[in-house]
Amino acid sequence: MLKLPKFLWLVILVLLAALGFLTNKFIIAGNTIPSKDDRTAILVTSDERIMILGEMRGFLEAIQGIVEATAEGDLETVAKLATQTGAVKPDMSPSLIGKLPIEFKTLGFATHDLFTELGKTAQGGDPVAVQKELGDLMLNCTACHAGNKFVVEGSPEAMQGN
């Protein structure tokens, strides 16, 4: 055991506890409250909500284009749409990243990667493989929606529960 004065051990312990608290708050737990519909309500600012929902609509539009192009046998367009969507880098400030729970971040980043993968599959030219992979990718959409919602910080919903 290292020979340090007692107060130094105390300082180290306090710092470790603070580090643990901050890691939990900003990396793992995020800024959340429970919600009446059994989902996790993530508290964000109105602008952050607008930005993320805009990205979500981009996901849906990409999927619409992918389904239509697959039905038309146009896998080149599928590859283009999927690759573009995979490459979108949402404008996430460190503060917003800190508010999102770890599962949310993991699922979100994984969804972008799956679009990139789908782009490669489409280049392979097999429409059935594209459909199968799109179905699997959309499990990320449904899983995340089943467990999460956004509530604006300081709004009546955030105060009274929602």
**In the complex, which residues of this chain contact ligand HEC (CB under 6 A)?**
53, 56-57, 59-60, 63, 104, 107-108, 111, 138, 140-141, 144-145, 148-150
Q: Least distance (Å) from ligand HEC to the CB of residue 17?
A: 30
Q: Are residues 148 and 154 in contact, defined by beta-carbon separation less than 8 angstroms?
A: no
Token couple for 60: 């849906």
Q: Least distance (Å) from ligand HEC to the CB of residue 37?
A: 9
Whose Cβ is closer to ligand HEC: residue 41's or residue 75's?
41
> Can you list the alpha helix ranges (DSSP code H) found in 24-147?
46-71, 75-87, 94-99, 102-123, 127-147
From CA 11, how far away is CA 67, in angstroms rounded? 58
Whose Cβ is closer to ligand HEC: residue 20's or residue 156's?
156
Q: Least distance (Å) from ligand HEC to the CB of residue 3?
A: 49
Element housing 37 (H / E)? none
Whose Cβ is closer to ligand HEC: residue 74's or residue 103's?
103
Measure CA 18 to chain center.
26
Backbone phi, then psi, for 56, in 5-degree steps?
-60, -45
Q: Least distance (Å) from ligand HEC to the CB of residue 160?
A: 16
**Torsion 103-106-109-114 (CA) sign:** negative
Backbone phi, then psi, for 96, in 5-degree steps?
-65, -40
Whose Cβ is closer to ligand HEC: residue 77's or residue 105's?
105
Whose Cβ is closer to ligand HEC: residue 63's or residue 78's?
63
Q: Least distance (Å) from ligand HEC to the CB of residue 104?
A: 5
